[in-house]
Amino acid sequence: MPTTTYIDAISEGLREEMRRDSTVVCLGEDIGVYGGAFKVTDGFIEEFGAARVLDTPLAESSIVGMAIGMALRGLRPVAEMQFADFISMAFNQLVNNAGTLHYRFGFKVPMVVRCPSGGGIHGGPFHSTNPEGFFFHSPGLKIVAPSTAYDAKGLIKGAIRDDNPVLFMEHKFLYRRVRDDIPEGDFAVPLGQALVRRPGKDVTLVGYGSTTGMSLEAAKILAEEGIDAEVVDLRTLVPMDLETVIASVKKTNRVVITHEDRRRGGIGAEISAEISENAVDYLDAPVVRVAALDTPVPFSPPLEEYFLPSAAKIATAARRVARY
């Protein structure tokens, strides 16, 4: 069994960056003495001290605001949202402040906001959301969403080294369920590159984060039925590697777009629109999306299951498209 979990990969990447570069600094609620609600920064305060692993009062807008200030003055802050859901408190700071400072004044704002996100853990409406869709619509914010432990490590490093504000969507359901053997030594995954996780010729399944694993599972089911699915993992959502997506669609002529974030106005809509604008003549079937319902994330297990995408739902959509 591979040795490094997705969550440990984030910890390792973060720790290595803090060792490598003394301007990398963490801040957030309960990240110091406690090591974070999910223990991503466990042991950090002992190694790096309380000034670089800063336990803040409870106020996300000011955590992000402080991070902006730190970034302006020569640091590379990594702010933790205890749950991704609470980033809504910092919406204004991110959208209007962090995202515009370079365009308006030429400042670089090298900061990362870590967002433990996603459902499947019965966290209810406010501990389960995927807020990337909101920020995707906003200029000046990069967004990454790893689906593997390797990418979790490589992308946290890539995000920290980037000179722009980056939202790092780490999926709670994957934390301890996804593992990789991670090579020794320093590596960073560059932002903005999608990856074909499984080549195939009949239908493209494009997603990110939690739906990449679901798509690979769906591809297995589909293979047994004679449908050869290509799985594209976006990895970075802004800037998006549309070339890889569109190349795949031009090859398979059929596409299912997936994400765990809600459907209406989600990132899937943009991908679909880009395909329709740039590859409509290659399409042999409707462009179909599999995403969460347009409701709050319900709490009770049967409701949440109905709400969320799944391998089975992706397979169903792929069948519809493949047999169209």
Partner 1 sequence: MASTTEKPPILDIPDEDYGDISTATMLDLYYYIRLAREMELRLINLFKQNKVVGGLYPGYAHEATTVGTALALGDDDVLLPLHRDLGAQLARRQPLKYIFAQYMGKVDSPTRGKDGNVHLANPELNIVGCISHIGAMFPVAVGISYAGRLLGKTVVTMTYTGDGGTSIGEFHEALNFAAVLNVPFILVVENNQFAYSTPTNQQYKVKRIADRAAAYGIAGEQVDGNNAMAVYAATRRAVERGRRGEGPTLLECMTMRMMGHSVHDPAGYVPRELLEEWKAKDPVARIERYLLRKRVLTPADVKDWTARLQREVDEAVEFAENSPLPQAEDAARGVWAEEGPAKSLH
Ligand X SMILES: Cc1ncc(C[n+]2csc(CCOP(=O)(O)OP(=O)(O)O)c2C)c(N)n1
Q: Is 262 in the site for a copy of itself (CB under 8 A)?
A: yes
User: How are beta strands 165-171 and 111-117 bridged, if at all?
Assistant: parallel
Q: Which residue has the tokens 């290659």?
A: 282
Distance of CA 318 to the CA centre of its chain: 23
Q: What are the C-alpha distances in Å from 63 to residues 30, 41, 128, 144, 241?
A: 12, 16, 21, 20, 30
Q: At its nearest, how many Å lie between partner 1 and the CB of residue 128?
A: 10
102 given a catalytic annotation: no
Q: Is 108 in the site for partner 1 (CB under 8 A)?
A: yes
Q: At its nearest, how many Å lie between ligand X and the CB of residue 66?
A: 15
> Which CB, 29 or 151, lies closer to ligand X?
29
Token pair recorded at residue 33 = 């003495």
Q: Between 20 and 59, how does the x/- string for binding to a copy of itself read (CB under 8 A)?
A: ----------------------------------------
Q: Which does 4 bind (CB under 5 to 8 A by kind): partner 1, ligand X, a copy of itself, none?
A: none
Token pair recorded at residue 129 = 């959301």
Q: Which of residues 32-91 bind ligand X (CB under 6 A)?
A: 58, 60, 82, 86, 89
- Longest pairwise C-alpha distance within the chain: 60
> Which CB, 56 or 253, lies closer to partner 1?
56
Which among 102, 122, 127, 259 is annotated as catalytic?
127
> What residues are paired with 238 via a beta bridge?
143
Asked if 234 contacts 208 with a C-beta cutoff of 8 angstroms, the reply is yes
Asked if 270 contacts 136 with a C-beta cutoff of 8 angstroms, the reply is yes
Nearest to 118 by CA among 289, 297, 265: 297
Binder of a copy of itself out of 13, 119, 120, 133 (CB under 8 A): 133
Round to whole Å and give the CA distance between 215 and 147: 11
Q: Is 59 in the site for partner 1 (CB under 8 A)?
A: yes
Catalytic positions, written as ranges: 127
- Chain residues binding a copy of itself by CB under 8 A are 85, 88-89, 91-92, 95-96, 99-100, 103-104, 125-126, 133-134, 136-140, 238, 262, 264-270, 272-273, 275-278, 280, 283, 285-289, 294-296
